[in-house]
Structure 1
Amino acid sequence: MFTGLSAFPLTPMNEHSIQEREFSCLVKYVAKAGVDSIGVLGSTGSYAYLSCDERARIAKLGVENAGGVPVIIGIGALRTRDVLANAESAQQAGASGVLLAPVSYQKLTDDEVFDLYETVCRSLSVPLCVYDNPGTTHFEFSDELHGRIAQLPQVHSIKIPPVSNDIESAKERVARLRKLIPADVTIGISGDAAAATGLNAGCDVWYSVIGGLYPKAALAITRAAQAGDAQRARALSDILEPLWVLYKEYGGSLRLAATIAEVTGRVSQPCLPQPLKTLQGDKRKRVAAVIETLGLE
């Protein structure tokens, strides 16, 4: 489950409700494409903006519409009690695994983060992926802390931030972490623009935003890397460079993914929780033009 391509779909919503039918369609689409797992309620799934009850509902819908594809459900929250409640609802929904980021308002210490994972692992009967995303949590894992947490019995994967586009530097980064974690704990790359480099550098899985919208394109890159064809994986990623440029210029993947979903008619408008907004005006037109030029399915 924690290998290959893990696709992370949006959770379309407005201020009144979750758009359950649209969410279910997104999950069914990526499942049908043959992804290795589906990541529900990740950052792209706007988990931090939903109540525990809403998250329990999305977890249930995710599993029901995945067609047997393993579903990894995000359980991060500000308080440990809420993380435990989310973990329980995810397991009751039939999750194959959970994804946990150390969400905080007050900056957390290393010991507090370790205690969080230790506490949560005691309540789990499914494997856990450590979500290392300093861009949203503002907590930076050291490799040593990753090594401590990876010894916990339920930890089976670590989702790391983007690596350097220099392949040798990326290999060194993956190797440093690999030395500190058990052999059965996989390393996953996030940050779509860096995915081909990360996979070619030895990462086992791509936790992918674009895979939640265009799984065929993401799968082609992943399968090339898995087959040892680093050149083809790199070439397929380079084709998507106009998209990667948008990621960089427009400040992250959530607003961009949501904008793509809106302009292509996959979701209704608005699809993000307020105060978040999708791209508008000339930026929106540019996104539409890039998607049309790339001809993605």
Structure 2
Amino acid sequence: MTHQVLVPLVTPISAEGDVCRASVARLVRSLRHGVDGFIVCLTSGEGWLLNERQWRAMLEATLEQAGSLPVVAGIERATTDAVLAYAQQAQQSGVAGIMLTSPFGSLVDQAAILTHYREVHDGIDLDIHIYNESSLSGNETSVDTLLAIAALPRVVGIKDSAEEPRSPQQINALQAHGLKYYLGWERHLGAGLPADGCVVSLANLEPALCRIAMMSEGDALRAEVARLTGIYSLLSEDWYAHIKQELFDRGVIASPHAVGH
């Protein structure tokens, strides 16, 4: 099995609120020889906080620097109509696909989640990746609903950040329905799960370790991932700000400014 490392990039922002294209260039160049692609404007990229201008600028800046590596556009918007509006822009930009959450709200049921993905799928021609999480959307997609979404022809992958860990059997079932299965939590790295790759915040800083942790397993490896998770404060509510601070300290980005601060 090929194990891919896709980086959910942070979004370098100036104090004035503009995407720093020079910082994006340095960040992508620092990563591109050790990873398999980039996903912009996901939660690590403060996607739900970016305005349309910032979202588009981050997408364009990453596409300019990615070379032959695929770029997937993350879309974190509350409603199907809003997601479709961004997806249509993404389609015009030349991205390899989009990744989206379910609609926002704790009362969103499984039928509404399936309808959401179906309407987005039918409204564009791009490949679609599921982002299964609950911290932003306020809901989580069940395995049965994920399998129904996977039946849509151009749904090709999933970043799974479910609160409860998947069993190997559940992962295999999703893969049997045509999905590439990407781990969404650092704590699952090195656990020997039958995943196709990972999409974790740590890849912004330690892509080589993420690669090793997808190819190997063991207590020492998991302990190192846990140690760095603590050092970089990846479990804090503003983990993306801590990643930016580390990248700033390394001289990769020009400012540690976070969109929400």
TM-score (norm 2): 0.88
Counterpart check, 1:184 vs 2:170: no
Counterpart AA for 1:271? H
Counterpart check, 1:212 vs 2:204: yes
Cα RMSD after superposing both structures: 2.4
Within a 5 Å distance, the mapping from 1:272-283 to structure 2 comes to: 272-275=258-261
Percent identical among aligned pairs is 19
The equivalent of 1:17 in structure 2 is 18
Q: Once superposed, which parts of structure 1, at least 4 consecutive aligned residues long, lie more than 6 Å away?
A: none
Superposed CA deviations along residues 250-293 of structure 1, whole A, max 9, x for unmatched, are 34632331232233332233420133xxxxxxxxxxxxxxxxxx
Indicate how the Cα distance of structure 1 residues 249 and 88 shifts in structure 2: closer, same or farther if over 3 A, else same.
Answer: closer
Counterpart check, 1:236 vs 2:237: no
Unaligned runs of 5+ in 1: 165-169, 276-297
**Tell me, what secondary structure is at the counterpart of 2:88?**
helix
Q: Offset at 1:111?
A: 1.7
**Tell me, what secondary structure is at the counterpart of 2:39?**
strand
Give yes or no for contact 2:100–2:131 (8 Å, CA) kept in 1.
yes
Question: Which of 248, 256, 260 is equivalent to 2:246?
Answer: 260
Q: Distance in 2 between matches of 1:16 and 1:66?
A: 23
Within a 5 Å distance, the mapping from 1:186-205 to structure 2 comes to: 186-197=180-191, 200-205=192-197
Q: Distance in 1 between matches of 2:187 and 2:243?
A: 14
The equivalent of 1:28 in structure 2 is 29
Q: Distance in 2 between matches of 1:112 and 1:3?
A: 32
Counterpart AA for 2:236? Y
Counterpart AA for 2:130? V
Give yes or no for contact 1:163–1:173 (8 Å, CA) kept in 2.
no
Counterpart AA for 2:180? T
Higher alpha-carbon Rg: 1
Q: Offset at 1:76?
A: 2.6
Unaligned runs of 5+ in 2: none
**Tell me, what secondary structure is at the counterpart of 1:128?**
strand
Counterpart AA for 1:18? V
The equivalent of 1:95 in structure 2 is 95
TM-score (norm 1): 0.78
Counterpart AA for 1:256? H
**Tell me, what secondary structure is at the counterpart of 2:190?**
helix
The equivalent of 2:112 in structure 1 is 112
Q: Distance in 2 between matches of 1:130 and 1:221?
A: 22
Q: Distance in 2 between matches of 1:177 and 1:219?
A: 19
Larger RCO, structures 1/2 (Cα 8 Å, 6+ apart): 2
Q: Distance in 2 between matches of 1:53 and 1:81?
A: 18
Q: Offset at 1:105?
A: 4.5
**Tell me, what secondary structure is at the counterpart of 1:156?**
strand
Superposed CA deviations along residues 9-47 of structure 1, whole A, max 9, x for unmatched, are 21011343122211222122211x231111111111111
Q: Distance in 2 between matches of 1:181 and 1:266?
A: 36
Which structure has the highest helix share of the two? Answer: 1
**Tell me, what secondary structure is at the counterpart of 1:255?**
helix
Superposed CA deviations along residues 153-189 of structure 1, whole A, max 9, x for unmatched, are 111112112687xxxxx6x623124336644212111
